[in-house]
């Protein structure tokens, strides 16, 4: 369970990757011999993965991200629309977003995205990435949690539902389990981190950078 106090403890300046972790350029992406194989990486967390794209796609992309990470938000604003239109919607790529919250506020945000089932997962995470400045980086006297509550009203969350989601121990434990497994098993140590057909790539990737990896796999 996460309380409003927990969510605010480390978010005075809306901590995220912009504060905790240095930005990694495409040139600094890491491909490691210790990276897990695809079959291992495909094992879902306690709540399952929310996949977009067909199971038989030649390319599988798993993203570990934090909803308070500014570089994750940049990827979802600048690269994600083109990736989805060109490759996911056309059946060439299968994609999932996995939770790797960097702070209590991000944990709360992921809990809310998970609270209403798979159908709401991407609409809510897309909304929160797109409007990140409006809830994760608000200035006093408004708190980030209050701003998050206002944001979720756009997704149909009443105050009672908002509070109930943040008290759901099962979802809280599941979100943290996904992060912990990412840390321990897959050696995720920054966000965003992508696994493309099992190979690890770190940093906010442009569509051009991602296509350099995807196209050879597709034979394009």
Residue given tokens 């690890």 in the structure block: 200
Angle, helices 70-78 vs 118-130, to 10°: value is 100
CA distance 134 to 56: 38
CB 103 within 8 A of CB 5: no
The class level of CATH for 4-218 reads alpha beta
Helix (H, G, I), strand (E, B) or coil at 99: strand
Q: pTM value?
A: 0.84
CA distance 96 to 51: 5
Tell me, what DSSP letter sits at residue 32? -
The number of beta carbons lying within 10 Å of the beta carbon of residue 38 is 14
User: Which helix (H) or strand (E) element contains residue 151?
Assistant: helix 144-152
Write the DSSP string, 51-87.
EES-TT-SEEEEEEE-TT-HHHHHHHHHTHHHHIIII
In the chain, the percentage of residues whose pLDDT exceeds 70 is: 82
- Condensed to tens digits (0 to 9), the pLDDT of residues 156-191 reads 999 999 999 999 999 999 999 999 999 999 999 999
Per-residue pLDDT in tens (0 to 9) along the chain, 220 residues:
655 555 544 444 333 333 333 333 333 334 444 556 567 899 999 999 999 999 999 999 999 999 999 999 999 999 999 999 999 999 999 999 999 999 999 999 999 999 998 999 999 999 999 999 999 999 887 899 999 999 999 899 999 999 999 999 999 999 999 999 999 999 999 999 999 999 999 998 999 999 999 999 999 7
């Amino acid at each position: 369970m996460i309380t409003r106090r927990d969510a605010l403890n480390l978010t005075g300046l809306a901590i995220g990757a912009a504060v905790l972790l240095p930005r990694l350029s495409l040139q600094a992406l890491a491909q490691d011999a210790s990276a897990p194989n695809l079959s291992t990486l495909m094992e879902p967390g306690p709540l399952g993965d929310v996949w977009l794209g067909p199971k038989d796609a030649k390319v599988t992309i798993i993203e570990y991200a934090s909803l308070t990470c500014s570089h994750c938000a940049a990827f979802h604003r600048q690269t994600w629309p083109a990736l989805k239109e060109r490759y996911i919607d056309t059946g060439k790529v299968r994609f999932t977003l996995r939770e790797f919250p960097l702070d209590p506020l991000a944990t709360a945000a992921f809990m809310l995205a998970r609270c209403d089932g798979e159908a709401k997962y991407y609409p809510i995470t897309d909304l929160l990435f797109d409007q990140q400045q409006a809830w994760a980086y608000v200035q006093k006297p408004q708190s980030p949690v209050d701003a998050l509550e206002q944001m979720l009203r756009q997704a149909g969350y009443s105050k009672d539902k908002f509070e109930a989601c943040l008290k759901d121990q099962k979802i809280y434990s599941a979100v943290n389990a996904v992060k912990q497994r990412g840390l321990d098993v897959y050696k995720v140590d920054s966000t965003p981190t992508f696994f493309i057909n099992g190979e690890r790539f770190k940093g906010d990737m442009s569509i051009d950078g991602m296509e350099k990896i995807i196209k050879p796999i597709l034979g394009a």
